[in-house]
Homo-oligomer: A and B are copies of this chain.
Amino acid sequence: MGEDLSDIGEFELVRRLLGRVPTQGLVLGAGDDAAVLHVAGDVIATTDLLVEGRHFDFAFSSPADIGHKALCANASDVAAMGGRPRHALIGIGCPPSTSVGTVEGIYDGIGEAARAFDIVIAGGDTVGADQLIVSIAMLGDVGEAGAVSRAGARASDVVCVTGELGAAAAGLWLLRAASTDPEARALIERFPELVAAHRRGRARVPEGQAAAAAGACAMIDVSDGLLADVGHICERSGVGVLIDGHAVPIAAGVRDVEAWAGREGIALAGGDDYELAFTIDPDAVDHLTRAIAPTELTVIGRVVEGSTVEVSGAILPDTAGWDSFR
């Protein structure tokens, strides 16, 4: 880890990074002004920036964790359209004093996630910056049933969520407290999967495709927090949602973290779980549950006339979700 980027320069860095990620299958690959990709019809496109100190912290996550999470955050957006992620462009900004090993580690994590989802890294840019930034743009194929927007929810739908919520947010609470609070350290030992959920990204790619194929009407990934994200569906669809607070699937250990933190509602307000929330005809739920097993599918509420998210039977969190500037 002795070498830093100013020792090897941009071109040698790019050479070392390209071997760490899948780059096969392009019409024209790295080393040119741009890449050329073969695509199969209309394209899903999204971009996400992750910034050191805001979206990740090297005290809590390894470089590979950060790269993995950055790629998954984008793949999750494609999954939330019911699409299949295919290609990514990677922009990295970092101080010239950054160790080569750190950037290689980020690329190792990107490569691991890319291979898991069969995503090809089509190109990128590496530039100097005061803090580490990972900027990814991702392209995907639209599924056969078409893209699932946030705008299609109907008052006869139920609201479903994949997996369990709250783990990533609870893990981050524990990591932030661990250096000074022995109780937090004990909870980390007892529930290591909470910390793992914060560190590693997730993207429910086959689940999103299955939900689209089963007729999901409106879908979103839970990145800002369940209430905020279901609120986005309400706003875009012109509907209300009633959530049964008791039905929301909460990851093991989250209740213990809430009790330790003296704070309720982590599962409803915590972001970064990258589960999918969607609305669908109630008759389609049984079939879809079998289709995505062993990933759990839970009906947590229903779409109603109105414009807001209401939650019964749960204490509400005191924040409505993530805002980049507040």
Which residues of chain A have a CB within 8 Å of any CB of chain B? 5-6, 8-11, 13, 27-28, 31-39, 41-51, 53-55, 76-78, 80-81, 83, 87, 89-91, 93, 96, 122-131, 133, 135, 137-140, 142, 147, 149-151, 219-221, 236, 323-326
Contact = CB atoms under 8 A, between A and B. Distances in A.
B128 A131 contact: no
B36 A89 contact: no
Given A89-B137, A323-B9, A34 B45 contact: yes
Contacts of A142: 36
26 contacts: A9-B323, A9-B325, A10-B326, A28-B149, A31-B236, A32-B81, A32-B150, A32-B151, A33-B46, A33-B81, A34-B46, A34-B138, A34-B147, A35-B44, A36-B44, A43-B43, A45-B123, A46-B89, A46-B123, A47-B89, A54-B128, A55-B127, A96-B324, A126-B325, A129-B131, A133-B133
Contact of A78 (B34, B128, B130): B34
Q: Which 7 A-B pairs give the minimum distances between C-beta atoms? A: A137-B137, A34-B46, A33-B80, A5-B325, A135-B135, A47-B89, A33-B77
Contact of A49 (B78, B87, B135, B149): B135
A323 to B, nearest CB: 5
Contact of A33 (B34, B36, B150): B150
B49 A127 contact: yes
Given A50-B127, A54-B128, A131-B131, 13 more contacts: A32-B81, A33-B78, A33-B219, A36-B43, A46-B123, A49-B93, A49-B127, A51-B128, A51-B129, A53-B130, A54-B127, A96-B325, A126-B325
A93 B135 CA distance: 10
Nearest to A218: B32
A275 to B, nearest CB: 13
Contact of A81 (B36, B38, B93): B36
A135 B124 CA distance: 11
A10 B126 contact: no
Given A39-B43, A49-B135, A91-B49, A32 B125 contact: no
A132 to B, nearest CB: 10
Contacts of A5: 325
Nearest to A13: B325
A322 B227 CA distance: 47
Given A9-B325, A9-B326, A125-B47, A93 B133 contact: yes
Contacts of A36: 42-45, 81, 142, 147
Nearest to A90: B47
Nearest to A27: B42
A103 B112 CA distance: 35
